[in-house]
Structures are given as structure tokens and as C-alpha cells.
Amino acid sequence: MHRKIVLSGLATAALATGGILTGVAPASASSGGSISVVYQVQGGTDALTTLVNTAKAEFQKQYPGWTVNLEPITSPAENEYYTKLDLMNGSASTAPNVMYEDTFLVNSDVAAGYLSPLNSYLASWSGWKEFSPAAQAAARGVNGKIYGVSMGTDTRGLYYNKQIFAKVGLPVPWHPTTWAQVLAAAETIKAKDPGVTPINVYGGLGEGEGSTMQGFEMFLYGTNNWLWDSTTAKWEKAGAGFESALGVYQQIYVKDNLGPSVQTALGSETWQTVQQGLMPEGKLGIDLDGSWVTSDYISSGPKPWPQYTSVLGVAPMPTENGQGPGHVSLSGGWLLSVGSHGTAAQKQAAFNYITIALDQKNSLWYDIHGGQVASREDVASAPAYKDQGPLVATFSSFVPFTHFRPAFAAYPKLSTEIQTITGEVMTGQETPAQGVASYNKYLVATVGASNVENAPA
């Protein structure tokens, strides 16, 4: 998931206004000290950087005895950020008090002892009731405790360039109902407009979790296969659906050359090439991607593109053969969490900082400028949020059929293995059948044979 949004000085100044914090037990008036906030920067000044700076100014105004030390981790790839954050959490002297946390890492980080439960703090925060049940659940560990506050969520679908589609004779609006129709559209673009990259699907290690979520799982969950079977509480072996999903990678990158060059596709900044290059330049027909992409194109974004609302369309991703429920999406999202290290006063101060950063005013601004699907109901209902246009409304409409990743400690390891396998299929080093065998061997070794079941036929 990539959300790099460069902001103007006016936007930054406008955001840095005082907020009102209600329903939170303040740190003792006689207390003082400092807290650290660790977050990811993908390059430049982005919406997250502005948010944490705004919250710092507001927090220090409300709690003059306290200082906020911002500690950005600059890394274009999410996997690199996760690694550096793990290293910081490994020592009490460097562990942050507040951290930018991906929802799928909650349980593994709880198991590692990095996060503090927030239930006792949330009970006294009036803002918590504004978060949707799904947003609250996104931060819940397997032990039932809450370990963060949602900054927003996202969905995924198929962007398509209406001008390219019209040029090559494809329908606008576009409503594919099977994978075959998606790939047929890409083949048509290749044949009739050879100067355009027909389709982008993320894969390989370079894009990290984006390869798993934006790419592979969007196909897998459109079959009869899953990674995790919630009814039996077991991990599912790769089967026919897993092989079919890998088969799409083989067709796009090996057999038919429908995607970006493999060298580009396997890089750590493919998302930047796609979002800020190919798409606004009219050089990409179809992009399987996330709801945040168009936040790059607003006037304060890194690639202003006023025409994007009329040039781009969005279609829901179909299931493999159109079987129920007909469409697929994946949702994730990020949290602000409190670290397990530090004094009781620091933990309270860290939570107070989070409530400022994610109050209604700051959440509204961040969800608009960060391309988020709102987690707070008082943000989702705000006129400024609703007025963003039809693409935001379309992505929000995918929520009823969206899926979430298995939030268990083994998932990050399995995700990395999927990234490796997709990369090897993209380069022709493995066939889809060999990828299935590789995954199943790794799965059993990672979670144990007793925790695995066969995929349905």
C-alpha cells in the first residue's frame, strides 16, 4: 500500500490549527516528559508527515510539559519500514511510544511484546464511538484487546483509462464479469495501441505487501481457495485456485507480455512508475490497484492531474468465472498504536497524542489528502468527504464484498513467500504448478501440518 502525497505549504498551515480534545484523561498537570513517534516516509513531504507534525503542535499546546520527538523512517518499500521498526522495538532505548502500524502486523507484534492494549484508555475517549465496528475490529488482537486506532481503510479494484478504451473499441463504462474478460481487454489494448502498457498487476518482493494484497490475493479470493479457513481455524493449502491466480501472472508477464517490463515490475518503486508516470501520461490501460491512488492527482499531490476524474474509470474486480458474490476487493489500513515500553505517564501521553491526531478534524483532512476510506462515521458523513467525487464513492461501494488478510503471526511470513513465488513465476523461473508445490512445502514448515487443511476441489 502506497500513499505518498506531497502537500503545499498552505495545506500544511491550514491543518496546523488547534483542536479540541474531549473525553480523554489528561496526563497529570504536574507531569512532563517526552514521547517518540515513529512513522514511514516514502519520500518528500506526505500527508502522514503533515498529520504527525500537526498533532505534535496541538499536543504540545495542550500539554505544555510534554515534548513530541518525531522519528521518520524513510523507506519507499513497506517491508523495509517493517524491518527497521522491528529493530527499534527490539530495544527499550529505541522503541517508540507511538508507532505507525499496519493492521496485518498487530498479532505478530503483540506476540513479540511491542504493543500496549488500549481498552482502558478507549473507555474514556468519547471519539471511539465514532469509529465503525469494522474499524474497531481492525485493531483487535486474537486475545480480544484493542491495539491501535484506525487512520482509515482502503479497497481495491480495476482502474481503466476511458480514452484508451474508447480508442481501441472497448466499452465505457467497463464492467468485466470474469478474469478472461479482463485479460481479453488487455490483449485488445496490446493489439490496437502498442505504445500503451495494457495492464499492471503487482508481484514480486520489491513491492512487498502490495504484491500480495493488490495483486495475488485479488485473484486468489476470486476462486474457491483461501489462505485461511475461518470455519475450521486452519491454514489452507494451495490448490487449483492458487494455481489459477499464479497462471494470470504467467500470462501477463511471460506468455503474452501484457504488463510493464519484468525489470520495472519487480522493482521497489513500481508503484511510483505506475501512479505518477504511466497513468497520468496515458500510457497504461488497466491498473489493479488501491483506492488511494488518485490522491496523487489532487492539486497538492506529487503529480497534479486535473483531468483524472474524467479520464479514469473504476470497475470492481470480478471473480474468476463470475461465481458468487461476483466481485472481490481487499481492505487493509494503518493504525496509530502505543508501544509497550515507557512509563505509565508516557503511555497515557502517547494515547492522548493519538486522540488528537485522529480526532474528527484531523481524520477528515487526512482521509481526503491520504486517499483513505473513512473509519470514523462523522468523517464519512462530512460534506467535504462526500464531495470528493465518483471514484471515491465507487471504491467505498466495494466494502460489502471486501476481504481482510488473516491477522495472525504466521501471515507476514506466508505473504513474503507469496511475493517470492509470484516473482519467480513472473520471470519464468517457476511454473504455477511449481509455485503451488513451493508454497505448500513452506506452509507446512511454517505453521505445522496439524494447522493445515487441503484446499477444496
Q: What is the mean pLDDT of the chain?
A: 91
> Per-residue pLDDT tens for 215-253?
999 999 999 899 999 899 999 999 999 999 999 999 999
3-state secondary structure 93-152: CCCCCEEEEEHHHHHHHHHHCCECCCHHHHCCCHHHHHECHHHHHCCECCCCCECCEECC
**Which CATH architecture group holds 9-154+332-388?**
3-Layer(aba) Sandwich (3.40)
Answer yes or no: same fold for 9-154+332-388 and 156-330+405-453. yes
What is the 8-class DSSP label of residue 202? -
How do 317-318 and 327-331 pair as beta strands? Answer: antiparallel
pLDDT score recorded for residue 356: 98
pLDDT score recorded for residue 63: 96
Q: How confident is the model at residue 44 (pLDDT cuts 50, 70, 90)?
A: low
Q: For residue 414, is pLDDT > 90?
A: yes
C-alpha cell read off for 40 = 514511514
pLDDT score recorded for residue 175: 97
Q: How confident is the model at residue 324 (pLDDT cuts 50, 70, 90)?
A: very high
pTM of the entire predicted model: 0.82
Going from N- to C-terminal start, the domains of the chain cover 9-154+332-388, 156-330+405-453
Q: For residue 12, is pLDDT > 80?
A: no
> Per-residue pLDDT tens for 151-177?
999 999 999 999 999 999 999 999 999
> Per-residue pLDDT tens for 367-395?
998 889 999 999 999 999 988 888 988 99
Q: Are 426 and 253 in contact (CB under 8 A)?
A: yes
Fold of 156-330+405-453: D-Maltodextrin-Binding Protein; domain 2 (3.40.190)
Pick 300 or 11 by higher pLDDT. 300
234 — phi, psi (to 5°)?
-135, 155
pLDDT score recorded for residue 80: 87
